[in-house]
Homo-oligomer: A and B are copies of this chain.
């Protein structure tokens, strides 16, 4: 189902070239002031990337959030916060050549297998544009988490985003399945083009030498100085220990190539198609805010779950 979270829940909706993308946040605490400027800034980070360049999307959407419910006199009511972002700059005719064939590396074929038919325009539901709804949901989560003293920091390196979350109280998370590290893995691999996840410092190297484990206690240390190193990334047994939570996410590059592509027709035969529509040369600059948003949704959900 298209819902993320149990206590702080985001349901997203929308196809790339339909009327709108958007979402419903259910479970956000009542009385939280919503800073519209911050939400829009986060949306701009998604559209243009942290370092605006010609590499990111060529789509010129204002990406203005329209609030439909759940906010009154600038504060959340505790009721569902629904929002929509209109799809205004659509050129669906660019995608006409894709109506009856499947691009390589995209979800065209698998959606057809799953649903029988699909909105082939601009990737439909599988488009990266759906992540705009995640960024709005994540921004609301961040506003609440900021009040709780939680902050997010990301660094990009090649196709890897490293994320550090500071201020998560010790004791957040659950044993066995609903662990904070497993939930972060789930959240991150749900991002389009994400293919790898690792917990801990330097985990981008996949695995540390065995002699780095375990992290050793610091005498009388508290909070962020609990252990001398933080190779485990702030989580033990699925529960945070109060140290910074550190993880890495690996992505594969965009799969649409400017030189065209060989597509699969419905009868299984192949055909050469020029890439219509607009596509990122690189989507890396857009990823940090999406990683942070999914991390914020995860952490807000588990903090609400574990509050006493």
Contact = CB atoms under 8 A, between A and B. Distances in A.
A233 B307 CA distance: 30
A100 interface: no
Interface stretch (A15-23, A50-58, A145-153): A15-23
A1 B198 CA distance: 23
A75 interface: yes
A126 B195 contact: no
Interface string A1-35: 11110100101111100111110101100110000
A158 B207 CA distance: 10
Given A186-B182, A196-B197, A213 B269 contact: no
Given A105-B214, A207-B252, A68 B126 contact: no
A239 B78 CA distance: 14
Q: How many copies does the complex hold?
A: 4
A230 B186 CA distance: 22
A222 to B, nearest CB: 7
Given A14-B69, A124-B77, A186-B186, A236 B117 contact: no
B237 A110 contact: yes
Nearest to A187: B182
A306 interface: yes
A196 B186 contact: no
A285 interface: no
Nearest to A67: B19
Contact of A77 (B4, B125, B176, B213): B125
A44 to B, nearest CB: 22
A210 B79 CA distance: 31
A288 interface: no
B216 A262 contact: yes
Given A115-B77, A199-B189, A203-B195, A68 B177 contact: no
17 contacts: A1-B178, A12-B80, A13-B79, A13-B82, A15-B70, A75-B117, A78-B116, A104-B215, A106-B214, A106-B237, A110-B171, A110-B238, A125-B175, A160-B206, A179-B189, A185-B189, A186-B186
The 4 A-B residue pairs with the shortest CB-CB distance in the complex, in nearest-first order: A105-B214, A107-B237, A113-B171, A110-B239
Given A2-B178, A159-B210, 16 more contacts: A1-B178, A3-B11, A11-B11, A18-B72, A19-B69, A30-B114, A77-B115, A77-B125, A110-B240, A113-B169, A158-B207, A185-B189, A190-B238, A195-B233, A196-B198, A196-B199
Interface of A: 1-4, 6, 9, 11-15, 18-22, 24, 26-27, 30-31, 66-70, 72, 75, 77-82, 84, 102, 104-107, 109-111, 113-119, 124-126, 130, 158-160, 169-179, 181-190, 192, 195-200, 203-208, 210, 213-217, 219-222, 226-227, 231-233, 235-242, 250, 252-253, 255, 261-264, 268-270, 306-308
